[in-house]
Structure 1
Amino acid sequence: MKKRITKAFLSLSGLSIILLVAGCAAKDAAVPESKNWYKGNLHTHSYWSDGDEFPEIIMRWYKENGYQFVALSDHNIFQEGEKWVTIRQDSMYRNAFRNYLNDYGDSWVRYEEKGDTLRVQLKTFAEYAPLYEEEERFLMLPAEEISAGYEGKPLHLNVTNLDQLIQPREGGSVVEVLQNNINAVLEQRKQSGKPMMVHINHPNFRWAITLEDMIRLKGERFFEVYNGHPAVNNLGDSTRIGYEEMWDFINIAYLEKGQPLLFGLATDDSHSYHEQSAKLANAGRGWVMVKAEALAAGALIEALEQGDFYASTGVELEKVHFADNKLEIRAVPKEGVRYTLEFIGCKNGEKETRVLKTVRDNAATFEVEEDLLFVRCKITSSEAQVNPVENMPYQLAWTQPVRPMGADLEN
């Protein structure tokens, strides 16, 4: 049996078990004022797999840049046990190591040099987490990117707040592989009693996961409507749909089958930390803003599963409120910045969404009529995104879909 991840650094004391959300709607994004907004990234890589930086440096960057939680999700590995990496001879990486050594000191950094070869022992989650975690300021969530495949197609899922490392499950089709891995996470969640979530990563990466594949899944509540890696085809191409359009079709199908709504995340999927380029997977491109009772794993996952969050590539919202079938959205006003709010939804019996209302202002209210299957809001800013990928130059945000009050009782 795999060694159980050290629990001293998981900040989970006193949390109750969070059950899977059975309802079909994020019923009420209006939350008590005692709840706070927390900014986080749920998809990040380090030297523990195919990232190019030490986890301490990465976590320091996120903390210094206004994030409150991060899941360091390396491929098929958790940051425990002994692992050494060989630092490339390129001066950029050798200089970065010298900076790391200067910042943390010989008592922290264990390394060995033999000729031109430089090897460094990586610090474990249990070792580096205490450097950064602060109550209500910064939380690190133990995570893994389960990286499976089928006939050469990369099938990746992130598990957040895992209890033990999950080895990739195999299967006889794309859907079977994905479903087996989703089930493995849900089984661990049930057995461990820990709040835990799984999400599908970048379906269009190498065109591995189709809309039809996604529709056939069960127990999946999240996927990446935006991923900051330059090779994941957020927008699709001339013959294949992008993530936002895929999201709507999935939800129409899920509701027809009586499954809960799928929620959309924005993530970095960061790998490259030394150079900034539209061709590199850099940090700071996509995140989620979660409204929760506390900066704790259980509270964050509970809020995510209730849809009390929005995804963003730069737009900041100061109000996301759904009550009495009124969806109210208000972006933080900025001088010289214009906003376009599009309320996108699907009517009962229809097979695709449409833009139901467009408001060119930083705030708007939309009446969610009973004949609507669901409604969400996309907010586009005139402000350029810093270091964008694909043809997505402006800052965006996506709220989660909501249903007319009581609609979930009919399914």
Structure 2
Amino acid sequence: MKRDLLPAGLNWYRANLHCHTTLSDGKKTPEQIKDLYLSHGYSVVAFTDHDRYYCHNDLTDGRFLALNGFELEYYHTPWRGQTCHVCFIAPTDRTEALGWSQPGEPIFIRELPAGGLDPEAGGQLYRVSCPGRKYTPEYINADIRAAKDMGFFVTYNHPTWSLEHYPQYSRYEGMDAMEMSNYGCVAGGYDEDDGRVYDDLLSQGKRLYTIATDDNHNLFPDDGPYTDSAGCWTMIAAGRLDYESVFAALRRGDFYCCARVNPARGDCQQIKALRLEDDHVHIETTPASNILLVTDVRPGTRAIAPADGTITEADLSLKDAHYFRLVITGPTGNKTYTNAYWR
């Protein structure tokens, strides 16, 4: 039996699903972010400013799609202690935030009328102030449930930077995806390669996807060694570059993600085909050095290139694995990650 794990015949769009602008603590305007990411080959940016929900539909055109969202933070102690950060991406481009029932309570939304926003609103819907927000799994899970009930796509962000460990993240429920890598954290000096966190959650039976994002704030020059833009992305397969098609692809898991060592290290490996063939997984990629199959059983499996060459495909046995995922490493150390797939 053969089954395609990534769809064929669709368009592939490069996306940054975690971004900050001058509307919170970033240093570039939304318009500047659009121009910057277009110049790096991106087609999609999710604008997820802290604690604020804005509508950025005015940025969307035939080349670029703005996804609307926001990020919430839950702190154990101010700044230096443990924290949980979660992004929420709205299900439609007509989703409006109405505010909060009480400080720190889940957000309420409604659909915008067909005529769109009041132009005098200037795009800003609500700024949120939540001093009562609590760093507890019960509180965080309540926000996630409320957002999921409203159709939001919910992502768990940068657990290494957040100083969270298994006793914390294992108690979170209902997230759609987690960040495998976060380039803003990598640029800031953190080892944000979170495969072990992903496997911990998968081993609990939690079926979530994995993404890679920039979480950019653009505090440093775009062409300098400390830039936090264009280091990570998620490749999304969709029929059209519009909100409905791209969000539906996120829901289906029709994507994979990429993380560069730094933007000077070239591109990441592209996945050309990925399919399940009975008890094997077959993958085809652009030239790679190593293709690693990660499962919940031993022994491990990988395909490795000779010292003076590269490989472009692999056929790997799944044995008795309940789930599997793949990590493709390129000659310069850049990595490409698939979602986990369950048998």
TM-score (norm 1): 0.64
Contact 1:346/1:354 (CA < 8 Å) preserved in 2? no
**Within 1, Cα distance between the matches of 2:142 and 2:13?**
31
Contact 1:291/1:303 (CA < 8 Å) preserved in 2? yes
1:70 partner letter: V
* 2:238 aligned with 1:289: no
Which residue is equivalent to 1:48?
Answer: 23
Which residue is equivalent to 1:155?
Answer: 84
* 2:330 aligned with 1:375: no
2:49 partner letter: D
**Within 2, Cα distance between the matches of 1:367 and 1:280?**
40
**Out of 43, 47, 54, which is 1:79 matched to?**
54
Which residue is equivalent to 1:199?
Answer: 155
Which residue is equivalent to 1:331?
Answer: 285
Contact 1:266/1:288 (CA < 8 Å) preserved in 2? yes
**Within 2, Cα distance between the matches of 1:52 and 1:331?**
36
**Out of 62, 68, 72, which is 1:142 matched to?**
68
**Within 2, Cα distance between the matches of 1:188 and 1:279?**
40
Which residue is equivalent to 1:340?
Answer: 290
Identity %: 22
Which residue is equivalent to 2:303?
Answer: 358
CA deviation map 1:225-252 (0-9, x unaligned): 100113677537xxxxx51111111101
Counterparts in 2 of 1:318 and 1:197: CA distance versus 1, 3 Å: same
* 2:15 aligned with 1:29: no
**Out of 180, 199, 224, which is 2:142 matched to?**
180
Which residue is equivalent to 1:21?
Answer: none
Q: Which has the larger radius of gyration?
A: 1
Structure 1 position 293, deviation (Å): 2.5
CA deviation map 1:152-180 (0-9, x unaligned): 34321111126233655456543123212
**Within 2, Cα distance between the matches of 1:59 and 1:41?**
11
Structure 1 position 396, deviation (Å): 0.8
2:318 partner letter: V
Structure 1 position 280, deviation (Å): 4.2
Counterparts in 2 of 1:174 and 1:278: CA distance versus 1, 3 Å: farther
Which residue is equivalent to 1:86?
Answer: none
Contact 1:38/1:291 (CA < 8 Å) preserved in 2? yes
1:200 partner letter: Y
Which residue is equivalent to 1:395?
Answer: 334
Contact 1:343/1:376 (CA < 8 Å) preserved in 2? yes
**Out of 133, 144, 162, which is 2:61 matched to?**
133
2:194 partner letter: Y
**Within 2, Cα distance between the matches of 1:28 and 1:299?**
19
2:331 partner letter: S
Structure showing the higher helix proportion among its residues: 1
**Within 2, Cα distance between the matches of 1:279 and 1:223?**
26
Which residue is equivalent to 2:117?
Answer: none
Structure 1 position 70, deviation (Å): 0.7
Counterparts in 2 of 1:47 and 1:173: CA distance versus 1, 3 Å: closer
Which residue is equivalent to 1:407?
Answer: none
2:275 partner letter: F
Contact 1:340/1:381 (CA < 8 Å) preserved in 2? yes
Structure showing the higher strand proportion among its residues: 2
2:272 partner letter: K
Structure 1 position 282, deviation (Å): 1.7
2:67 partner letter: L
Which residue is equivalent to 1:243?
Answer: 194
**Out of 321, 327, 330, which is 2:274 matched to?**
321
Which residue is equivalent to 1:228?
Answer: 183
**Within 2, Cα distance between the matches of 1:28 and 1:69?**
24
Compute the RMSD of aligned alpha carbons.
Answer: 2.6
Q: How many residues of Structure 1 are paired with residues of Structure 2 in the alignment?
A: 291
Which residue is equivalent to 1:216?
Answer: 171
CA deviation map 1:125-165 (0-9, x unaligned): 35x42xx521xx32111111123333434321111126233
Counterparts in 2 of 1:316 and 1:161: CA distance versus 1, 3 Å: farther
**Out of 190, 199, 203, which is 1:252 matched to?**
203
